[in-house]
Amino acid sequence: MARKRARRGSKHIPRPAGGVRSFWSGTISFGLVSVAVQFFPGSRFAGVALRMLDDDGTPLGRRYYCPKQEREVHPEHVVRGYEVEPDEYVIVRDEELEAAEPEKTREIDLRWFVDLKEVSPLIFERSYFLTPSGDSNKAYRLLAAVLEETGKIGIATFVMREREYLIAILAQDGILRAETLRFSDEIRSPETVGLPEREKVSRADVTRIEHIIQKHMAHKLDEKLLVDEYAEAIRKLAEKKLKADKDVVRSEVPPEDEVESEEDESAPDLLEAIRQSLKHAGDSDGSSSHDGHHKGHKSTTKGSDDLAELSKEELYEEAKKLDIPNRSKLTKTQLVKAISRAQQA
């Protein structure tokens, strides 16, 4: 069953071979070395998303409700609060959130190099592929080769969508990858889980378990195991019902909000597309490239159709210029409407 997906990103952002969309670009900088790169998501949502509907098939929208006064609250009257004690909050306003935002930059500040084996997989959060941008192909390949040969990873920071991220830059098969890292206060220690104290095990028990493991050893992970059986069952159920025209409801009312994601909806083989991009990039010099990675960030003073092609980040920036109230709470569709109204005013 075909699933409708929201538009993602800006039409101005370049794509490599295969049509995969880059959602961020910047420059890896350390010492006197600069490598211009583009970010591509290393994963995508492929599960099932069930939408809440009225019994006539109309998609339902979210509302804020005050249980104390038993009434609906308009978004304009909703504020954010930081909980300092149970039932005690400090109000944080939009302008204060904006003042706390890190300075926007297109530089990936590579600060340290560490051995990959010294880094726990527990701190890895989300994967991205990096490709060279502009004429940085030679510097990109050099950095990838050195990291791969030495078993090192680079630890860096960069800013995306009003937030600073800590990332690890590593290489595999000649391709650079970035892994966002969890911060220390996001990681549980074994002690907090409540594990029992270690017990001494006999050599005989260890040998027995080793034999069982050896018996079930495989040369590589079977990709057939990486299947979400629940999602597949829901899809098959929906396709069967659709084919039989059973429990099918249709509504002409568009959804009130859109699902925002960095993930790409096209290109079945992302790695192959990136390899093709590397192949066509050429092998020119240019270990210091600062051109090209700012392209695609044009003024958003446009009509509604053009605004709809922009990313939510770009729409938010335009809303900020126009001083649109409550802009941080608006969905992409609502931002487009609010900007259009403000421009016509």
> Is the pLDDT score of 209 beyond 90?
yes
**Quick check: 285 pLDDT over 70?**
no
| Domains of the chain, CATH where assigned | 1-61+90-188+234-297 (2.40.290.10), 298-345 (no CATH)
- pLDDT the model gives residue 303: 57
DSSP line for 61-87: PP-EEETTTTEEE-GGG--EEEEEETT
0.85 exceeded by the pTM? Answer: no
> Quick one: pLDDT at residue 194?
79
Say what the pLDDT of residue 90 is: 93
Q: In this predicted model, what pLDDT tens digit does every residue of 45-83 receive, in sequence order?
A: 777 888 888 888 888 888 899 998 999 998 888 889 999
**In this predicted model, what pLDDT tens digit does every residue of 97-145 receive, in sequence order?**
888 888 878 888 888 899 988 888 889 988 999 988 888 888 899 899 9
pLDDT above 90 for 207: yes
pLDDT greater than 70 at residue 20: no
- State yes or no: pLDDT of 168 exceeds 90: yes
**pLDDT digits 0-9 by tens, 141-161:** 989 999 999 999 999 988 887
CA 275 to chain centroid: 21
Short-list 133, 132, 121, 134, CA closest to 176: 132
Give CA separation, 331 vs 13, 91, 163, 313, 336, in Å: 21, 22, 18, 11, 9
Longest dimension (CA), the chain: 81
pLDDT at residue 181 in the model: 92
pLDDT, averaged across the chain:
77
Mark residue 230 as left, alpha or beta (left: phi above 0; alpha: psi -120 to 50; beta: remaining).
alpha
3-class state of residue 225 by DSSP: helix
Question: Each residue of 235-254: pLDDT tens digit?
Answer: 888 888 888 888 888 776 55
d(CA 324, CA 314): 14
